[in-house]
């Protein structure tokens, strides 16, 4: 039953694919052949499609929706609408309906509730790169290998994405998502303050802590902190501390290593920054939105934050803004972790919409669009070739920090993405915050987190 439906859909898709290849005007026109869509039943479907029918199908207009979040301070809606207009000019039979859906969580919630309620999901969604396993397990998304295989130079296309960003796209040796709006954890520093104090940029935990201590000053009742480290939602900004000590907090989708001595030492380092060096506020700092303001106004010398905040900080700051990876524990080691959202194609959408969505993904990940998106939003351009476009060269000559955000990725470890992610992450947050707030010792807290996380993953992992 399912197979029948599938092969029918497949036939339509195939025809459509063939015609797209034939009709799409110039530039990157793909001479798409029978590999246009994924997998098996290829041969019979192809035979069944006589030429005239193909012509008709080509004219069939397709409309699909893309659900996207706005997670940074940039006019995402206006930018996307511009790209969509240009896309529709190139593919006149495809109409893209962008649906702004809140934050990342809201996009995923909207898609989940649509599917669970028996509705038809949008063909395309921008969701967190780390949502991968949840989306696969729930059977919401379709693998993309068939599409890549059908592209001319498909392998080169995939290989052009920065490896740190692509790491979250694979599972079971299949490709499930395409990097779109990606970021990384970085450390921002006030280069003017460093110069005035005669400080070099830090290269180790020790020199980082010393600099933060030196740059902490009292001003009446208020303290100008050397460092602010938002930990209201701590795993992401914390990970580079652990990575900088030689041990990420996970090793694969079924294994977390919260209780490794190196991870515990990283928690202790966070605590020492306030307890020993007096260089930042003590305990959990729920200061994600205010930290950037404090930094840009010059009252805090260093903050750790998302690279996505760069544009906003540069717009406000009246000093030279430095961007770098976290210093690691040992001298001249550094660390970071990627973040942000990818494109996912929903398998519940009609096949012709999925195919049209892929066309859009391909279009929007052309180097010139990737570069333009990065310049206008502050996200890190996700493809290497985007950095060679004229627009990007001109931009990075002007704003060298944009290159620095890309360069931290060479020090990046994997972002926390596991089976049963919501629960595992919740457990980690619970205990690491207890350690930050002194309710438990770092060693006890991380040991307890490890035990609970193992239980939470037990059903999910063989």
Partner 1 sequence: MQASRKRSKSLPYILVFPTAAFVALFTAWPVLLSFYQSFFLQRMNIAKFREPTFIGWGNYVDLFTDPYFIDVIKNTLTYILGTVPISIILGFLFALLVNRKVRGIGLFRLAFFHPMVLPMVSAATIWLFFFTPDYGLFNSTLRFLGYSGPENWTGNPNLALLSVVIVAIWKNSGYYMVFYLAGLQNLPDDVYEAAALDGANGWQSLWRITFPLLRRTTLFITIIAFIDSFRTVDHIFVLTSGGPSRSSTVLLFELWLERFEYQDIGTSAAITVIFVIVLLAFTVTNLITSDRKEV
* Residues forming the site for partner 1 (CB under 8 A): 105, 108-109, 112, 116, 133-134, 137-139, 221-223, 231-233, 281-287, 289-290, 419-423, 426, 429-431, 433-434, 436-437, 439, 459-460
373 contacts 181 by C-beta, under 8 angstroms: yes
Least distance CB 41 / partner 1 (angstroms)? 24
154 contacts 319 by C-beta, under 8 angstroms: no
Nearer to partner 1, 198 or 220 (CB): 220
Instruction: Please enumerate in sequence order all residues whose Cβ is within 8 A of that of 164, keeping only pairs 6 or more positions apart, or say none.
Output: 184, 338, 409, 410, 412
Strands 326-327 and 321-324, how do they pair? unpaired
Least distance CB 358 / partner 1 (angstroms)? 25
Least distance CB 422 / partner 1 (angstroms)? 3
**If you count DSSP H runs as helices and E runs as strands, how many of each does the chain have, helices first?**
21, 16
Least distance CB 210 / partner 1 (angstroms)? 23
Nearer to partner 1, 119 or 232 (CB): 232
First-to-last C-alpha distance (Å) of the chain: 31
Nearer to partner 1, 253 or 355 (CB): 253
Least distance CB 286 / partner 1 (angstroms)? 4
Helix (H) or strand (E) holding 451: helix 442-458
How would DSSP label each residue in 387-415? GGSHHHHHHHHH-THHHHHHHGGGGB---
Least distance CB 112 / partner 1 (angstroms)? 7
State the alpha helices, DSSP H only, in 42-171: 42-48, 51-59, 76-90, 104-116, 132-137, 145-150, 154-159, 163-166
Nearer to partner 1, 108 or 365 (CB): 108
Give the alpha-carbon dihedral of 363, 367, 373, 375, to 10 degrees. -170
Nearer to partner 1, 118 or 198 (CB): 118
Nearer to partner 1, 16 or 284 (CB): 284
Least distance CB 456 / partner 1 (angstroms)? 9
Nearer to partner 1, 375 or 445 (CB): 445
Least distance CB 108 / partner 1 (angstroms)? 7
HSE value, Cβ hemisphere, 13 Å, CA-based, for 270: 32
187 contacts 326 by C-beta, under 8 angstroms: yes
Nearer to partner 1, 66 or 115 (CB): 115
**How crowded is residue 311: how many other Cβ atoms within 10 Å of its Cβ?**
20
Read off the tokens for 444: 């006890």
Nearer to partner 1, 137 or 368 (CB): 137
HSE value, Cβ hemisphere, 13 Å, CA-based, for 203: 4
Backbone angles phi, psi at 368, to 5 degrees: -70, -35
Backbone angles phi, psi at 459, to 5 degrees: -70, -20
Residue 258 CA to residue 416 CA, distance in Å, equals: 11
Least distance CB 221 / partner 1 (angstroms)? 6
Nearer to partner 1, 35 or 73 (CB): 73
HSE value, Cβ hemisphere, 13 Å, CA-based, for 265: 14
Backbone angles phi, psi at 267, to 5 degrees: -65, -40
Nearer to partner 1, 88 or 290 (CB): 290
CA proximity to 345, closest of 85, 37, 70: 37
Least distance CB 430 / partner 1 (angstroms)? 5
Least distance CB 48 / partner 1 (angstroms)? 33
Give the alpha-carbon dihedral of 210, 212, 214, 218, to 10 degrees. -150
Least distance CB 329 / partner 1 (angstroms)? 25
Nearer to partner 1, 376 or 423 (CB): 423
């Amino acid at each position: 039953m399912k197979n029948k439906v599938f092969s029918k859909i497949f036939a339509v898709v195939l025809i459509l694919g063939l015609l797209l290849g034939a009709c799409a005007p110039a530039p990157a026109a793909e001479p798409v052949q029978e590999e246009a869509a994924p997998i098996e039943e290829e041969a019979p479907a192809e035979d069944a499609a006589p030429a005239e029918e193909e012509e008709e199908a080509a004219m069939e207009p397709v409309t699909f929706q893309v659900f996207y979040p706005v997670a940074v301070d940039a006019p995402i809606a206006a930018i996307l609408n511009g790209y969509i207009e240009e896309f529709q000019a190139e593919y006149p039979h495809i109409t893209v309906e962008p649906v702004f859906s809140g934050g990342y969580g809201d996009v995923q919630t909207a898609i989940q509730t649509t599917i669970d309620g028996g509705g038809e999901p949008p063909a395309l969604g921008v969701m967190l790169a780390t949502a991968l396993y949840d989306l696969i397990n729930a059977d919401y998304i379709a693998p993309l290998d068939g599409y890549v295989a059908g592209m001319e130079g498909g392998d080169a296309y995939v290989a052009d994405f920065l490896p740190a960003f692509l790491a979250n796209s694979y599972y079971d040796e299949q490709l499930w998502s395409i990097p779109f709006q990606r970021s990384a954890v970085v450390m921002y520093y006030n280069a003017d303050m460093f110069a005035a104090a005669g400080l070099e940029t830090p290269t180790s935990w020790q020199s980082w802590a010393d600099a933060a201590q030196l740059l902490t000053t009292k001003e009446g009742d208020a303290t100008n902190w050397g460092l602010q480290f938002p930990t209201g939602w701590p795993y992401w900004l914390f990970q580079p501390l652990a990575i900088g000590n030689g041990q990420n907090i996970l090793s694969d989708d079924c294994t977390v290593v919260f209780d490794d001595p190196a991870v515990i030492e990283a928690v202790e380092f966070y605590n020492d920054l306030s307890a020993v060096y007096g260089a930042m506020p003590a305990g959990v700092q729920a200061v994600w939105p205010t930290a950037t303001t404090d930094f840009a106004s010059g009252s805090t010398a260093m903050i750790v934050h998302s690279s996505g905040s760069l544009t906003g900080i540069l717009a406000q700051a009246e000093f030279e803004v430095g961007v770098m990876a976290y210093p690691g524990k040992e001298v001249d080691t550094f660390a970071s972790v990627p973040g942000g959202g990818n494109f996912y194609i929903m398998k519940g959408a009609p096949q012709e919409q999925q195919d049209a969505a892929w066309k859009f993904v391909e279009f929007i990940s052309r180097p010139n669009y990737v570069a333009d998106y990065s310049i206008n939003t502050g996200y890190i351009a996700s493809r290497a070739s985007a950095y060679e476009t004229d627009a990007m060269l001109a931009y990075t000559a002007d704003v060298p920090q944009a290159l620095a955000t890309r360069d931290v990725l060479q020090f990046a470890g994997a972002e926390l993405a596991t089976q049963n992610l919501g629960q595992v992450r919740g457990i980690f947050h619970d205990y690491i915050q207890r350690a930050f707030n002194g309710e438990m010792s770092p060693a006890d807290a991380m040991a307890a987190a490890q035990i609970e996380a193992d239980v939470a993953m037990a059903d999910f992992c063989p």
